[in-house]
Structure 1
Amino acid sequence: MSRSVLFDTETTGLDPLTGDRVIEVAALELVNDLPTGKHFHALIDPQRDIPAEASRIHGFSNGDLVGKPLFAAIAQPLADFFADSKLIAHNAPFDFGFLDMEFGRAGLPPLARDRMIDSLVLAKTRFPGMPNSLDALCRRFAIDLSARTTHNALLDCKLLAEVYVELTGGRQRGLSLAAQDARGPVAVYVHTGPRTPHPIVPTEAERALHAAFLTRIKEPIWLLP
C-alpha cells in the first residue's frame, strides 16, 4: 500500500515573505493514488486583512474568518495528517513555501522537499506548451467544473485528485472498484474466468463493399501475392 497526501492552500496573497498568510488548507489521503475519503480541512484566521484582489480569487473576506482558529492551533493536526507521506500539490513550491512559514511560526519543522510531487510539473511534461492550470486540465480530462466558481481549497483538492489519477494513469478505464478495507476503494482487476473469443464474421454485403473499396487503392497489400 502506497499512501500519499494531496493538498491545497488559499492565502491572503502571493508571498509569505512579505506577510501573506494561509487562510484555508485542505488535504486528501490517497492510497495507491486513489482517494480514500479521509481528509483534513480548516479555515484559519490570518490575523491580517485580506486584500480585495485575493478575495475575488478565493471568495473569502475577513468576516468569513471571524472566530476561526489561528494556524498554530491546526499546525500539529495538519502535520499529523501529512505524517511521512509524499505530498502532492499543483504548483507545489507555492504551497510548500506558505506552509513552511506557518509551520515555522508554530515551532514545527519545514516540509522536506524530497516529499514534494508537483502535479504542475507532471502536466507540463505530458502536455508541453499547453495551458496546464487546474481548470485547463479538468477541461482536458472532461472533469466537471460546474461547482468551481472560486478557488476553494477542499474542492480544488477533489478536482486535483481526479486530475492526478489521469496524469499518472492510476485508474485504468474499465477496471471495477472494490473496497479493500475501511481505508476505501482501490482499483483492482476482477477475474471472471477464461475469455470466450467472439470472431467477427463479415456479411456478404460487407465483403462486397470491401472489395469495391480495394479497387480504388493502387496495389493494395491485401491482394499482393
Structure 2
Amino acid sequence: MKEVVLDTETTGLSVREGHRIVEIGCIELDNLIPTKNTFHCYLNPERKVSEKALEVHGYTDEFLSTQKKFSDVVKDFLNFIENKKLVIHNAEFDLSHLNNELALLGKEKLDNKNVVDTLALARDKFPGSPTSLDALCKRYHVDNSKRTQHTALIDCDLLAKVYINLLGQKEPTLNFKNEDNEKTIIDSDNINQYYKKIIKPTEKEAKLHKEYLNKTLKKNFF
C-alpha cells in the first residue's frame, strides 16, 4: 500500500486571516518503506510572511516572490498524491491550508477520511506526554539535528521514521524472497543487498555441539 508523508510551511497560522502555503513536501512510502519518489516545491503566497512564521521556516518575502504559484503546481501535486493515503502530523492544520488553496482555484477539497494524523496516533499512544515532532523524535531516538528550522522535506523524512515507530514497526525492513534465501534491506537513504545461504552442520559438528550443550547445561551458574 502506498502512502504519502506530507508537510507544509505557511505564511501564518490561520487561513481565516488570509495566510497561504509557501512550501509543500511529500515523501512516498510503499508498505512503510520510503521510495525515491518525492514532491517538493516552494510557493509564492502572494502576500507577506508573518514575523512568527519567518522565525519558524526562514523563507523571506523576497525569496518567495520568485517562486511558482500554487496554480502552477497543483496538477503535479494532485497527481502525486492520487489514490494514496496521506500521513500528516497535525493534519487539521495542513489540510485547512491545502483545501483553502484548492478552493481558491475552484477545485475539490481533500477528504480527511483518507488521512492518518500522527499527532492523534501519538496522543492515543502516549496520553499526557509531549507529542510534537521533536518530542517524538527524541522518544524514538530519531536524529533531528538537521531540523534547525522547519522545512517541509526534512520534516517529512523525520515524520516517516516516527510514523513507522508509532505503528510498532522497525527500520530497516527485511523483504524476504524465495530465491536462494535472498534478503534485501531497504532504508530511506540507500538499498543494500546481501545474500545468506543456509549452511547445515556436518554430523560431526552436530555431535560436538550436542555434547557441548549437555556438558554446559549441567553446570549451575546461579
TM-score by length of 1: 0.80
CA-based RMSD of the aligned residues comes to 2.8
Tell me if 1:178 matches 2:191: no
Tell me if 1:165 matches 2:144: no
Greater Cα shift, 122-131 or 169-178: 169-178
Mapped partners of 1:195, 1:123: distance in 2 = 45
Contact kept in structure 2, 1:90 and 1:119, CA below 8 Å: yes
Tell me which amino acid in the other structure corresponds to 2:163.
Answer: Y
Tell me which amino acid in the other structure corresponds to 2:53.
Answer: A
Using the TM superposition, give the Cα deviation of residue 76 of structure 1 relative to its aligned residue in structure 2, in angstroms: 1.2
Residues 132 and 195 (structure 1), Cα distance of their counterparts in 2 relative to 1, 3 Å cut: farther
Residues 33 and 52 (structure 1), Cα distance of their counterparts in 2 relative to 1, 3 Å cut: same
Contact kept in structure 1, 2:174 and 2:185, CA below 8 Å: no
Mapped partners of 1:52, 1:195: distance in 2 = 67
Equivalent position of 2:102 in the other structure:
103
Contact kept in structure 2, 1:34 and 1:170, CA below 8 Å: no
Using the TM superposition, give the Cα deviation of residue 66 of structure 1 relative to its aligned residue in structure 2, in angstroms: 2.5
Residues 101 and 141 (structure 1), Cα distance of their counterparts in 2 relative to 1, 3 Å cut: same
Equivalent position of 1:48 in the other structure:
47
SS at match of 1:68: coil
Mapped partners of 1:160, 1:51: distance in 2 = 25
Contiguous gaps of at least 5 residues in structure 2: 176-182
Residues 120-172 of structure 1 show CA distances to partners (whole Å, capped at 9, x for unaligned) of: 11111111111010000001111111111001111000000111111113336
Contact kept in structure 2, 1:26 and 1:157, CA below 8 Å: yes
Contact kept in structure 2, 1:75 and 1:106, CA below 8 Å: no
Using the TM superposition, give the Cα deviation of residue 92 of structure 1 relative to its aligned residue in structure 2, in angstroms: 0.6
Using the TM superposition, give the Cα deviation of residue 107 of structure 1 relative to its aligned residue in structure 2, in angstroms: 2.6
Contact kept in structure 1, 2:43 and 2:67, CA below 8 Å: yes
Instruction: State how many pairs are aligned.
Output: 201
Mapped partners of 2:200, 2:169: distance in 1 = 25
Equivalent position of 2:138 in the other structure:
139
Tell me which amino acid in the other structure corresponds to 1:69.
Answer: K
Tell me if 1:18 matches 2:24: no
Contiguous gaps of at least 5 residues in structure 1: 211-225
Counterparts of 1:118-129 in structure 2, within 5 Å, are 118-129=117-128
Residues 104 and 194 (structure 1), Cα distance of their counterparts in 2 relative to 1, 3 Å cut: farther
Tell me which amino acid in the other structure corresponds to 2:102.
Answer: F
Mapped partners of 2:77, 2:173: distance in 1 = 35
Equivalent position of 2:85 in the other structure:
86
| Regions of 4+ moved over 2 Å | 169-180, 190-204
TM-score by length of 2: 0.81
Identity %: 35
